[in-house]
Amino acid sequence: MSFRPSDFPGGHERHCLRQINHADLFDYHNGAPDDALAQAVAKDVAIAKQFFKDFEAALARAVALKPNEDTKVVLALKAELDRLYTVSASLCGEQTNVQEGLTRLIALTLQSIKRAAGDDALADKELSEERDARSLHIKQLQTPLLADLLNSDLDGEGFIPKDALIPTLLSLDKAVLADVVGLFDLTQVSDIICQSEAMLEALVASSSVGKHSAIIAHATQNLEFIKGYKVYLENYG
């Protein structure tokens, strides 16, 4: 493979590299890796271009806000800024400055909402809960795969197609898997386990991957971890 991966890959490039590096899990043996990566990068660039158009539009809306702006207008802007922040975590390129700018804009909208709420205790409580939820969300976005899963509805294909979820989970490093499984509820985890078992059985039965291979060993360890998380959900979730 002569294609040099990007220093700051986007969600499509990340997934393409995952498929190439774990080809047996993804049954990814067709086509040239360089061509696939070039196509993935092109998709990421297209998403980034659209993002910056949306970002500029949101910035213009923020600048146009009046001191006594209607709360519905401010809330709508905040929702768009939150969406943009989430999208930014899956973009190609260095996005630190953009995220810092979005954070400042979101803080300004929250200040405006708080002023409009006045001494409303319920509104103040809801704002506090929203800040806590946002802090958790930002922490999740720091894990690239979590960001890509949360951004899975960006286009018709998504960064992680549904049929790629199982091999993706089975290919992960343990630290990343520990972060990712928290996205799923008990029903979803049970389904993931069933699909993973079926997939591993098929791989072991194939002529290309033996049951003692490193690929199977790693995937099996990940499956056992997911089963452990299922037990946790059954008892404490």
Domain count, the chain: 2
Higher-pLDDT residue of 162 and 84 is 84
* Residue 199 placed within a domain: yes
Residues 144 and 204 occupy one common structural domain: no
pTM attached to this predicted model: 0.89
Residues 111 and 177 occupy one common structural domain: no
Q: Are 179 and 117 in contact (CB under 8 A)?
A: no
Q: Of 119, 150, 181, at which residue does a domain stop?
A: 150
Residues 140 and 199 occupy one common structural domain: no
Residues 119 and 39 occupy one common structural domain: yes
Burial of 204 (0-12, 13-18, 19+ CB in 10 A): middle
Q: Are 55 and 98 in contact (CB under 8 A)?
A: yes
Residues 202 and 182 occupy one common structural domain: yes
Q: Of 82, 116, 150, at which residue does a domain stop?
A: 150
Q: Are 133 and 140 in contact (CB under 8 A)?
A: no
Question: pLDDT class for 127, splitting at 50, 70, 90?
Answer: confident
Q: What is the pLDDT of residue 49?
A: 97
Lowest mean pLDDT segment, chosen from 67-71, 114-118, 197-201, 221-225: 114-118
Percent of the chain with pLDDT over 90: 65
Q: Are 2 and 23 in contact (CB under 8 A)?
A: no
* Residue 60 placed within a domain: yes
Six-digit token pair at 166?
């199982």
* Residue 137 placed within a domain: yes
Residues 83 and 170 occupy one common structural domain: no
Distances in whole angstroms, Cα of residue 102 to Cα of each of 66, 83, 127:
19, 10, 18
Domain that holds residue 174: 162-236
Q: Of 108, 125, 150, at which residue does a domain stop?
A: 150
Contacts of residue 39, defined as CB under 8 A and 6 or more positions apart, other chains included, come to: 16
Residues 79 and 102 occupy one common structural domain: yes
What's the average model confidence in pLDDT over 97-122?
A: 86
In angstroms, rounded to a whole number, what is the distance separating the alpha carbons of residues 103 and 101?
A: 5
In angstroms, rounded to a whole number, what is the distance separating the alpha carbons of residues 90 and 145?
A: 9
In angstroms, rounded to a whole number, what is the distance separating the alpha carbons of residues 229 and 182?
A: 9
Place of tokens 């979730």: 237
> Which DSSP helix (H) or strand (E) runs through 216?
helix 214-236
